[in-house]
Structure 1
Amino acid sequence: MRLGAVGSERPAALDDDGVLWDLSGLAVDIDGDFLSSGGLDAAAAAVAAGGLPVMDDPADGSGLRVGSPIARPQAVICVGMNYAAHAAESGSEPPTRTVIFFKHPNTVVGPFDEVLIPPGSAKTDWEVELAVVIGTRARYLGSPAEALAHIAGFAVSNDVSEREYQIEISGGQWSKGKSSETFNPLGPWLVRPSDIGDGSALRLRSLVNGDPRQDSSTSDLIFDVAQVVFELSQYMVLEPGDVINTGTPQGVALSGRFPYLRPGDVVECEVEGLGRQRQVVGQGRS
């Protein structure tokens, strides 16, 4: 985890007993350099040895601000229509190859930070997703079986989207509707594959104002985590700290079954074993 005001977050680790350990003595921050140097394993070993200072702050967002668990990602890469039911509610056939788009990296905020509706927007939407954070450089992997070794961990992501920008005035690409400020709450935790597995068969849910919206499992991914990382490595070099949003299941406002977000709404997203986010929706100002 990363705790503290924006730009002043401190690295921390949360153990199975709910104790927060201060990682400041091991790392300046949880970033690509920390991940690629084996920092997560070193932190886990230090926690197990009990040799770190204990932090008193609660880890549920009620005390010190919880930041994104990864600092300054240089890329946020997203997979579209990766659940067949979501493709159907979007009016599309399930893809036969991965659909890839990008979000501006500065969309990444903390899991309890405010989500801001862009000025004039009437179609801001939520999307709970399993996020993958790359731990070591991945390029031209030989097979999906090689992918897990390059993953630092998993986290909860909310791929907030403005559908008019994404679809109606997109110009043929989606990033316009994905890159507004605050449009990617991430966290609260980064969890290693050794602690959660390969990202398969994890339940993921979203709620708006306490009412259920999405409820699915990563077992329904069209392209699973290993396949996604493998395919992306054929088109680009994945660097430590890069974030991959793996897709969202059915149950978003784009389906027409639910209203789009308005100021004052409360969005909650959770993935099994990775914690829960909660954002109050506000109004962006020019």
Structure 2
Amino acid sequence: MKKVLILGGTGDAVKLAAKLATIPEIAIISSLAGRTKKPSALVGEVRIGGFGGADGLANFLKENAIDFLIDATHPCAGQITMNGAIAVKAANIPHLMLVRPQWERVSGDNWIEVESVAAAAQAIPASINRVFITSGRQQLEPFLQRSQFHPETWYLMRSIDPPDIELPNSEVLLERGPFSLEQERHLLRKYQIQAIVSKNSGGDATYAKIIAARELGIPIIMVQRPVMPEGEKATSIEATISWLNLKTSKLGGAK
């Protein structure tokens, strides 16, 4: 048996775990940070909580005799991805980053590209009074600070779990994607949204909001992905499984 640790928290990680669970020679452990109170159901062993940085992750890999590390975290989760790249060097095991392609601007898109959520809050034009926040529930402090100077701005926030910070003059939608184009069109019109804050997550689950914004002429303040560490990468679950099959055959019966 070869042991695979999946750094998860995404829909891709859930699907990957389900696929790998059908391979008899593979034992999987899915690791979740624990930030989502109601994570999607996962197949196989699940570990919840942080590792204590790169050193803690390296120790976990060694102590649990992990053969492969697959990073299937959110494309914007830069710190855990960096920790993984450091840890596998200390543990001396193969490592793959499953990174879905990012969204690319097309004709009709009105994007304001920024490097962080904090920069996104600052980039909201003063003339915008109704903002749809889709960048996550854990980075709302910059919008709280902005509301002190722009108390007239109303915010709509969508997340799986309730946010830890309550924004004044706001509404929260507790929903889990994927979302259809018709749903997103209806939402943007219903709430009279004038701007969207989004991370460049890539994938299909939430791309409908990008299309709807394009159709309705709504600007998107797009938080770019952090720089990825060097290392092997795949852009699909199928490519990830092919990589693992290749690595497993090379290892043969020995670690």
Pairwise TM-score range, normalised by the shorter structure? under 0.3
Structure number with greater Rg is 2
Instruction: Determine which structure has the larger helix proportion and give its number.
Output: 2
**TM-score scaled by length of structure 1:** 0.25
Instruction: Determine which structure has the larger strand proportion and give its number.
Output: 1
**TM-score scaled by length of structure 2:** 0.28
